[in-house]
Structure 1
Amino acid sequence: MMHRHLNPVGMTPPLITIIIAALNNKKTLQHCIDSVARQTYPNKELIVIDGGSTDGTVDLLEANREQIRTWISEPDRGIYNAWNKGLARAQGEWICFLGADDYFWDGRVLEREAAQLETLPSDIRVAYGRIMLLNNEGVTLYPVGAPWEKIKGRFRQIMCIPHPGAMHRRSIFERHGQFDETFRIAGDYELLLRELNEADAFFMPDIITVAMRQGGISSTPANSLRQLREVRRAQRMHGHYLPGRFWLMAAVRVYLRLIIWKLLGERVARKALDWGRRMLGLPPFWTCT
């Protein structure tokens, strides 16, 4: 177990727990673990919850045991079940979650985050920065993430906080419980909505926290639609019975993508969608993922 280090004024910096959920991620998991190991911030712990991989991931975890405080490999019921298993083992005052395909952007991410986390009042229980989107080949696309003051109203309608690498104060789970495992895609949004329905988050400016590969949920309109439906279920659970305009606008965009996908086929549809993004002054996404 890692020991706490005193900072120059004699205060103990917060222990940060990083939880990684993995399942047959041997190709990318080493990079993820290395990005944690190279963090200059000393007061950290890494927990890896593997869902019973059969591709050599378990051997990789065994080879990295000195970098990992604890790991398990057993079947689970999805990512939120894995994260809950990690939470049961976490000791940190602040906790963040990484996908096995993600990695910390540089070696000083936790050091720079911790310097800001130590200044926050106790009623701020969520802090986040920007993340860098990558395509499946690891090529940089563009950063996402905006200040809380700009997205506060929108967040209660759509998920607009980059969750990979976001910091959760331990007390958020003590107050609200763990992730709801009935969700398959939007469980992170539902957990944050429990807290941020009335409370505020803190945006850490000038920090890119995590590089996140695109694919899966973000790569097809069908998965985007599934995510939107789960987002609405989370909103109804927390008193937002009617959809807001941001959710409705997102739903219209997703249905338009589905229509274009079916009419033109995936390859042409991706080109057409990125043409539309360029017309709006946005960088390409669909032809890159």
Structure 2
Amino acid sequence: MAVHLYRLALERVPGPDERRHWVDSVLIHGMSVPVMVEAIAGSEEARRVQQRANVLPDVSNGRFIQFAYEYLLDRSPLIPEVVYWDHMLGRRKLNRSQLVQQLFVQHATEALMEAAQPPTHDPTIITSMGTDQLISVKAWQEKVEEIGTDYPHLEPRRYASLNKNLGEPRILISAIASLYRGGDYIEQFLENITSQTIFETHCELIIIDADSPENEGATISRYMERFPNIVYHRAATRIGIYEAWNLGVQMSKGKYLTNTNLDDLRRVDSFERQAEILEKFPFVDVVYQDFYYSFEGMAPFAKSAAAGFKSQVPVVTPYNLMHSNSPHNAPMWRSSVHDEVGLFDATFRSAGDYEFWMRCAKAGKTFFKVNDPHVVYFVNPEGLSTQPNTRGIVEARQATKRHGRYLLSPWLLSSDENFMDELSRLASVPVDVSEAELASPEWRYTAAQRALRAHAAAARGRDLA
């Protein structure tokens, strides 16, 4: 018993004389166990140990966890991590010094393992976004061989609520494309975009050539003869994708913007589908959707749709945006968003759009998900985000570190006392949780649900049943 108490309260084991002292005190002099516990845990040494372990005592556990992740792991904690560590600290299962030590060990271990064996990336296998399902080239090939040419032709859909508001031809949508080494896909890309149902009358395509060496300009010139609403700009030097997008944004005339990847495909009514949402719902700032996966760069849209491998991205909230970049594939957004949150951060190579969506969430912008996959995402082994040496993971961590403290709720990070006081204030009645409920890591959720029921009951003018 004394050994266990010493480890908990003094973070050491007792010496032989100390063990003998406590054994004699209990067995010979009749000291009760509670008195022994109080004597050890309340000693001056225990007080000094507690003070030493209680790093930044004026900061709540939640804020301390956030700081620890930012400075030790170079990223923001995710919500489950905050909940877990807050529970461990709150229930005295470890102290702050031990938390710091554990995170440091975790970081050092990961760094050493990566140095010894750098992480590998297999572009022939991908996890379907929003699920734990793995999709492989083999599974894709088996499925397309099974369907052969027996898949339905997809007729374009028309959206009455949009078409009645389109009016005279004008640029409503600016589609922006960054071009570098896109020779294999430029013809298919241009054919796909110019085939959009409202392209000729209400769209422009802005192509920013990032000093590509493959002479795609010759193909683009042919299409520009047929479509004067194609704008082509060739940079004098090699520029990054987000610098190219920023040029496109600055050159655009559309009310709405969308990015278009050369190796992806859109259903012919894709632009119309997205613009309909933005026109119908003025409160929506960004519209995005699920998408089909393809391992065949030249496969027509209908074939990929028939294969049926698609994402299940979640509805965007500040919390789940910390987990994944749901709007990453072919979203459409209001050009006015840039007036408030700025352009894309051109220092990023792979996750600049992710960082931009975090800024949008921080600014309170509204995201709208369409459960209609009208885009095909080609798993291109040569693509920037699917290359084995991708910086996406590192940059995503940087983005969460930069914006996590603004996206995580201050009440998730607040002290227990402040959280309960605020709940009671909002519910207009005292809200309590039992000791048994406090023993659960999810006790704040339980308390919030109780506050909602109490508030609803008070609003109806009756007591809780």
TM-score over 0.5 (shorter chain)? yes
- Out of 337, 340, 344, the residue aligned to residue 179 of structure 1 is 344
TM-score, with length taken from structure 1: 0.71
The aligned residue for residue 116 of structure 1 is 277
Once the two structures are aligned, what percentage of the paired residues are identical? 27
Q: Distance in 2 between matches of 1:217 and 1:69?
A: 25
Q: Distance in 1 between matches of 2:249 and 2:333?
A: 11
Contact 1:180 1:191 (8 Å CA) reproduced = yes
Which whole-Å deviations, capped at 9, do the CAs of 1:114-142 have from their partners, x for residues lacking one?
222211123x2111012222115445472
Letter in 2 for 1:154: N
Shift of residue 33, structure 1, vs aligned partner = 1.2
Contact 2:287 2:332 (8 Å CA) reproduced = yes
Letter in 2 for 1:148: V
For the residue of structure 2 that corresponds to 1:99, the secondary structure is: coil
Matched, 1:128 2:288: yes
Matched, 1:202 2:368: yes
Q: Distance in 2 between matches of 1:19 and 1:83?
A: 7
Letter in 1 for 2:310: P
Larger radius of gyration between Structure 1 and Structure 2: 2
Q: Distance in 1 between matches of 2:171 and 2:214?
A: 35
For the residue of structure 1 that corresponds to 2:349, the secondary structure is: coil
- Out of 238, 253, 257, the residue aligned to residue 91 of structure 1 is 253
The structure carrying a bigger strand percent of its residues is 1
The aligned residue for residue 49 of structure 1 is 208
Contact 1:147 1:205 (8 Å CA) reproduced = no
The aligned residue for residue 181 of structure 2 is 24
The aligned residue for residue 114 of structure 2 is none
Shift of residue 72, structure 1, vs aligned partner = 1.1
Contact 2:297 2:380 (8 Å CA) reproduced = no
Residues 1:83 and 1:220: Cα distance change in structure 2 (over 3 Å): closer
Q: Distance in 2 between matches of 1:240 and 1:186?
A: 19
Identify which range, 15-24 or 129-138, moves more after superposition. Answer: 129-138
Q: Distance in 2 between matches of 1:28 and 1:16?
A: 22
Contact 1:138 1:213 (8 Å CA) reproduced = no
Shift of residue 208, structure 1, vs aligned partner = 1.8
The aligned residue for residue 60 of structure 1 is 219
Residues 139-288 of structure 1 mapped to structure 2, 5 A cutoff: 140=304, 142-148=309-315, 153-161=319-327, 163-197=328-362, 198-215=364-381, 216-219=383-386, 222-223=389-390, 226-240=391-405
Residues 1:130 and 1:176: Cα distance change in structure 2 (over 3 Å): same
The aligned residue for residue 71 of structure 1 is 232
Q: Distance in 1 between matches of 2:290 and 2:345?
A: 25
RMSD: 2.7
Which whole-Å deviations, capped at 9, do the CAs of 1:181-207 have from their partners, x for residues lacking one?
111110000011101234331011224
Query: How many residues matched?
Result: 232
TM-score, with length taken from structure 2: 0.46
Which whole-Å deviations, capped at 9, do the CAs of 1:191-230 have from their partners, x for residues lacking one?
111012343310112242344343235545642xx31221
Letter in 2 for 1:90: S
For the residue of structure 1 that corresponds to 2:371, the secondary structure is: strand
Letter in 2 for 1:134: S
Residues 1:158 and 1:205: Cα distance change in structure 2 (over 3 Å): closer
Which whole-Å deviations, capped at 9, do the CAs of 1:229-272 have from their partners, x for residues lacking one?
211111121143999xxxxxxxxxxxxxxxxxxxxxxxxxxxxx
Contact 1:14 1:114 (8 Å CA) reproduced = no
Residues 1:220 and 1:182: Cα distance change in structure 2 (over 3 Å): closer
Q: Distance in 1 between matches of 2:312 and 2:274?
A: 15
For the residue of structure 1 that corresponds to 2:370, the secondary structure is: strand
Shift of residue 146, structure 1, vs aligned partner = 2.6
For the residue of structure 1 that corresponds to 2:378, the secondary structure is: strand
